[in-house]
Amino acid sequence: MNNKQEITYPLGTRPGDGEVVEVCDGVYWVRMPIPFEGLDFINLYLIEDDDGWTMIDSGYNSNKIKGLWTEVFEKHLKGKPITRLICTHFHPDHMGLAGWVCERWDITLTMTLGEFSFGRMLFLESGGDVPDHLIEFNKTVGFTETMLEAVRKGGHSFFKNAVYELPASFERIEDDQILNIGGHDWQVMVGRGHSQEHACLYCKSKGVLISGDQVLPRITPHVGVYVAEPLANPLQKFLKSINRFSILPEDTLVLPAHNDVFIGLHNQLIYYREHHAERLSRLKNACGSPKTAFELLPVLFERELNEDDQRLAVAEGLAHCHYLVGTGELDRVVGKDGVWRFQIAQDVKTAVA
């Protein structure tokens, strides 16, 4: 990899569960546990304002995290209230306690329209037995019978359990909007691909980017295709949207949702492009004959995957396949069994021949 810049972790420390570490003047890092194997923790942030605090993301819906937040509220807010909650996106580790925070402080949830509406839709739809359309989609994308049975047994209540009841209304933020917090301007920078309309926040005067899941150190953000938008091309959106972060200075201090606060934004953007380009190349080479997204997993993932990993991996595989369908390099064909398979596009085969 031809990096412009190495990643560094300038703080040399991280907060423990429910502890608070000052990142720079007026910006504080809070770390909370989450029940996701491999991630384990989420980073949440507090920005001091003149008459209160702006909170960035809320954490997962659990009594443990409610208790940890209560301690933070009592010990670290200098007697001032939470006056605004901004959730970067709808995933449960980010907006899981949004409703609880808004109730406690009598405030309005602040998000982009795409993230709020998608999260509220999932919350209202969640519960009960797994719907038929979800099973049919999983069959279509190549889930094995073992995987389908696991989906049926898992039920359809994960999102409702992981997210405290969401408010019925919100305050919208949009791309390039400027929010004044504590006398400093914070620019909303919307990223796509990992989620619908992911809000990052950049403060030029502080040299700080709160990146959520859009830019992470050590790992790549998950980019997948799911039942709500089965023909989506999220990888194309992801690669296009990260280009705008390249204009930020190399020494920008990045505050991600997972792992540690770092400097090395440009390094990660280069890595993402090269990582996905290499996976797309491997995928094309493997599609000389039609293959399902499940059959392509060994091409894209070198490590052995458990059942939960396989479901996420199929979503990522579909994202890569749909990217190549979008460029005209792969065809998506539907077999007599109704399953999607991907193969080198006929025009590409002819050109190669």
The pLDDT tens digits for 294-331 are 999 999 998 888 877 888 999 999 999 999 999 999 99
| Predicted confidence (pLDDT) per residue in 39-51, tens digit | 889 999 999 999 9
b/e per residue 171-202 (b: at least 16 CB within 10 A): eebebeeebebbebebebbbbbbbbbbbbbbb
**Parallel, antiparallel, or unpaired for β 82-86 and 53-56?**
parallel
Residues of the chain with pLDDT under 50: 1-3, 351-353
Distance CA 77, CA 281 (A): 50
342 sits in which H/E element: strand 340-344
- Can you name the residues that pair with 41 across neighbouring β-strands? 33
Owner of token pair 């910006």: 27
3-state secondary structure of 100: helix
Record the tokens describing residue 166, joined without a space: 């969401």
d(CA 33, CA 84): 22
272 vs 215: CA distance, rounded Å: 9
User: Shortest CA distance to 335 belongs to which of 147, 139, 151, 149?
Assistant: 139
CB atoms within 10 A of CB 42: 25
Residue 349: its pLDDT value, please? 57
Looking at 3.90.1300.10, 3.60.15.10, 1.10.540.10, 3.30.70.1400, the CATH number of the domain 20-274 comes to 3.60.15.10
DSSP strands (E only) in 27-161:
27-33, 41-48, 53-56, 82-86, 109-111
**Residue 2: per-residue pLDDT:** 44
Global pTM value? 0.94
CATH architecture, domain defined by 282-352: Orthogonal Bundle (1.10)
Among residues 288, 246, 290, the alpha carbon closest in space to that of 267 is found at: 246
How far apart (Å, rounded) are the C-alpha atoms in residues 292 and 164?
36
Domain ranges of the chain: 20-274, 282-352
The pair of structure tokens assigned to 104 is 């406690």
Q: Among residues of the chain, what percentage have pLDDT more than 70?
A: 97
